[in-house]
Amino acid sequence: MKSLLSIVVGLFFITTMQAQSIYEAGYFVDNNGKRTECLIKKLPWRTNPTEFQWKKNISSSSKTATIENIKEFGVGEDYVYKRYILQFDLNGDTVGKSTKYKDPDLTYKKIFLRTILKSKTTLYQYSKNDVHRFFYTNPETVYPELLLYKVFYTPDESKKPGKKVIPQENNTYQEQLAKKIKCGDQDPSKLTYTQGDLKRYFKKYNECKGNKIEYIIRKKINQTRIGVVAAVDLTGFTHGSIAGPAGDVNYDDVFAPRYGVFIETFIPFSKVDLSFFLESTYKAFTMDGRDFAISNSEFELDYKSINVAVGPRFHIYLSPKFELFLEGGLTVDFNIGTEATQFMENELENTTTDYFYGGGIGSGRLKIGFRQYSPKNISKSTAIPDSELTTSSLYVSFNIF
């Protein structure tokens, strides 16, 4: 058990130590319109980038692409950027970093805009130094238009103690939305200038207009997959002889089917693709054994259980279409009618626990993996106190949602 735990901890340590060079599936479109599927270095992406590092596959050397030669790129499922030359103001959104002027000081700049929601009316975002600006396009626009917002201040003329300036907001974006992007009972006057509020507003607007939502960002923590899993377990079983220490009863190894469902949720780490999964499967098999210390002795184990497994899974992308994953965790077996000729009904454990480690390869919705489980004792008999059930497993899983 200690060695298994050491392996699981070791996998976590190795993955974390190499987090600086984690790459994930992505693509980019160059100035000639050529699309390249690749691996892009994983970054926090808190600010809109001007360049990124990429590889064709995990073994190739890293290259740098810049805003000068790339007009669009995407990373994973949540980050899609398009290049534009636009006017906007990046004065701070707090009084300490703002100016006394209500109107923004608009300047042109070449930037990558992040797509927040894509439809006939699309929402974009640009972020830098905790300042956020939002843009939109619709069938009437040629380039993204700025949704104008600015924090400014006015002098405090009341001469009250402690006050020197009064913060104000230029909420022109609410007027823009009221004139150009409004459907049904939508009221932009209640909107705050935040990604969450604007994303919900644009989603409701497109749905009201009957427009298909082609893309909408979502947080990693909400990226949950639900699917089915099928496995073949190679199982062995031994226990002590009733004749005493003369020998063990060895059962013939069997291949046992196991099948069920799973749920997997990704955790929002910026440099490590980490998920946790919960899996529930049903397993049943029959195996025969002999006690060579006793002549003409034959035994049978008819095993039935519900197995619940839980643990972390680390994802390493080998290419845009394939990933390597490593996993480890804990399983609990619930006895649902196991019988054995060597044991009375109340001499088998109702619940047993073991550990596992493994890994595999995935592509799209499909994963193929291998697990090695720690041996476990299913006996609580005083006559035969020790037994060992061993399992190795090959499984296939498929994401339905």
Write a three-state SS string for 60-113.
CCCEEEECCCEEEEEECCCEEEEEEEEEECCCCCCHHHCECCCCCCCEEEEEEE
| pLDDT of the residue at 13 | 47
- CA contacts within 13 A on the Cβ side of 147: 31
Number of other CB atoms surrounding residue 160 within 10 Å: 8
Amino acid (one-letter) located at 67: I
Cα(252)–Cα(30) distance, integer angstroms: 60
CA distance 364 to 308: 25
The 10 Å Cβ neighbour count of residue 312 is: 17
**Alpha-helix residue ranges (DSSP H) falling in 78-231:** 172-180, 195-208
For the beta carbon of residue 229, count every other beta carbon within 10 angstroms.
Answer: 20
Query: Is the pTM value of this prediction over 0.85?
Result: no
* Residue 12 DSSP SS3: helix
Distance CA 337, CA 153 (A): 74
Predicted pLDDT at 272: 59
Distance CA 151, CA 46 (A): 21
Q: How many helices (H) and strands (E) does the chain have?
A: 3, 23
Q: Which residues of the chain have pLDDT under 70?
A: 1-21, 92, 94-97, 156-164, 219-222, 243-246, 268-272, 293, 295-296
> Quick one: tokens of 333?
């077996």
pLDDT at 162: 55
User: How many angstroms separate the CA atoms of 84 and 141, rounded?
Assistant: 13
Contact between residue 12 and residue 19 where contact means Cβ atoms under 8 Å apart: no
Structure tokens at 379: 């006996």
The contacts of residue 16 (CB under 8 Å, 6+ apart) are 272
> Shortest CA distance to 144 belongs to which of 52, 230, 11, 48?
48
- Nearest of 203, 138, 148, 202 to residue 171 by alpha carbon: 148
Report how far residue 227's alpha carbon sits from residue 261's, in angstroms, rounded to the nearest whole number. 6
Q: What are phi and psi of 253, to 5 degrees?
A: -60, 145
From the number of C-beta atoms within 10 Å of its C-beta (0-12, 13-18, 19+), residue 8 rates as buried
Please write down the HEC assignment for all residues of 231-289: EEEEEEEEEEECCEEEEEEEECCEEEEEEEEEEEEEECCCCCEEEEEEEEEEEEEEEEE
Find all residues with CB under 8 Å of 230, minimum gap 6, and list them: 257, 258, 259, 395, 396, 397
> In a 3-state reduction of DSSP, which class is residue 157?
coil
